Amino acid sequence: MEDKIRIAIDAMGGDRAPRVVIEGAIKAASIYDYQILLVGDTRKINKFLNIYNGYPKKKIEIVHASETVKMGEPAAASFRKKKDSSIAVGLKLLKEKQADIFISAGNTGAVVTASTLTLKLLPHVERPGIAVIFPTLHEPTFMIDVGANIDAKPTHLFQYAVMGEAYYRYILKKEKPTVGILNIGEEESKGTDFIKEVRELLKKSKLSFVGNVEPREIFKGKVSVVVCDGFVGNIVLKVTEGFAEASTQFLKRELTKSLLPKIGAILSLPAYRAIKKKIDYTEYGGAPLLGVDGAVLIAHGASDAAAIKNAIRVAGEYVKQKVNEHIVEQLVEYGKELQING
C-alpha cells in the first residue's frame, strides 16, 4: 500500500486565519484522501476545529508552532527571529520528509525567504520564482516570476520558462505548452537589452517559444507560459488586482445611483458571481514557488475556505505528478543544449 500524501498547511497564515484555513482543510478532508497537517497554535486551532462535527478526524492532525509571522513583517528578520513560527515549522516538516508539500496563505516574502533558506534550491536552479495563473477566455496563462526575485538575470528567466512549462504540462495538463516573454510590443526588435538576451536563450532552446507577449495577451490565453522578471511580474499582478478592485467600486457606485440600474444589478447578480469566480485565480489553488527543493504553494492572503480547499486539491496533484522531478529532468535536458546548466 502506498503511503497517503501528507499536506502541511500554515493554519496561522492569511487575512482570516486560522478560521478559513481550518474550514478549507475540513472541506478538503471530506473530499480527498490526503493527510492534512494543520501547523500553528494548537489551542487556537482546536478552538475552531471543535466547532465542526462529522468531518473525517483521522485525516486532520495538528502540528504545534508557538509563533506567527505577521503579514507586514520583514521577511529576513522573521526568519532569523521566529524559529518556531508556523512557516518555519511547516517547512521543517517538508525538509524532514514528514510532509510532501507545504501551503501558506501568510506573508509571501517570509514564505519565499524561509523556503529558500530551509529547503535550498533544486539542482540547476539559480533563483526560485513565484508563478500565478491568470484565468482567460481560452486557456489559463501561467506567469512566472511575480515577485520572488527582483534582481533577475537572463538565465533565471530561462529556468523560469523550463519550470513553468513543466508545471503547466503536468498540472494544467497540456502536452506541449507554449512559452513567451512579456514585452512591450510584439516585434523582435522591441524591448530592453535584458529582454533581448532572454529571447536569445529561449529561441535556442527546444521549448515551444513563441516570442514576445504583449501585456494585453496575458488575458487572452493564447500563450501557456509567460516569463518576466519578478519586479515587472509583481507590478502586473498588483495592477490587475488593483484595477479589478477599483472597477468593482466604480460599478457599485454607478449601479446604486438610481432604481432601474439597481434592479438590473440584482437580476445580473449570478453573472457577476460567475465572473468573480472566473477571474479569481485562487480557483486554481495558489501560486507555486518553483525552484526550491520541496513543494511549496503560496495561497492568496485573502483566501476563503474554498480557495484553501482548492489549494489542497492542487497540492495533491503537485505531489502525485512529481512536478519537481520533472523540472530537474527538463532543466538538464534543455540546459544541456544551451550549455548553461549541469
Q: Report the interface residues with its own copies, using CB under 8 A.
A: 74, 136-137, 147, 150-151, 182, 184, 187, 189, 191-192, 214-220, 231-232, 234-236, 238-247, 249-251, 253-255, 257, 260-261, 263-272, 274-275, 278-279
In the complex with its own copies, the residue whose CB is nearer, 4 or 196, is 196
Smallest gap, in angstroms, from Cβ of residue 275 to its own copies?
5
Smallest gap, in angstroms, from Cβ of residue 94 to its own copies?
26
Smallest gap, in angstroms, from Cβ of residue 77 to its own copies?
11
Smallest gap, in angstroms, from Cβ of residue 46 to its own copies?
35
> CB within 8 A of 333, min separation 6: which ones?
206
- Candidates 295, 73, 60; CA nearest to 163 is 295
In the complex with its own copies, the residue whose CB is nearer, 31 or 263, is 263
Coil, strand, or helix at residue 6? Answer: strand
- The whole-angstrom separation of Cα 55 and Cα 268 is 35
- The whole-angstrom separation of Cα 17 and Cα 10 is 9
DSSP 137-183: SSSPEEEE-SSS-SS--HHHHHHHHHHHHHHHHHHS--SS-EEEEE-
> CB within 8 A of 230, min separation 6: which ones?
129, 130, 145, 146, 147, 148, 149, 150, 152
In the complex with its own copies, the residue whose CB is nearer, 52 or 194, is 194
- The whole-angstrom separation of Cα 128 and Cα 110 is 14
Q: Half-sphere exposure of 14 toward its Cβ, with a 13 Å CA cutoff?
A: 29
In the complex with its own copies, the residue whose CB is nearer, 134 or 158, is 134
Smallest gap, in angstroms, from Cβ of residue 232 to its own copies?
6
Smallest gap, in angstroms, from Cβ of residue 149 to its own copies?
11
In the complex with its own copies, the residue whose CB is nearer, 51 or 275, is 275
In the complex with its own copies, the residue whose CB is nearer, 98 or 248, is 248
Residue 157 pairs in a beta bridge with: none
**What is the β-pairing status of strands 141-144 and 225-227?**
parallel
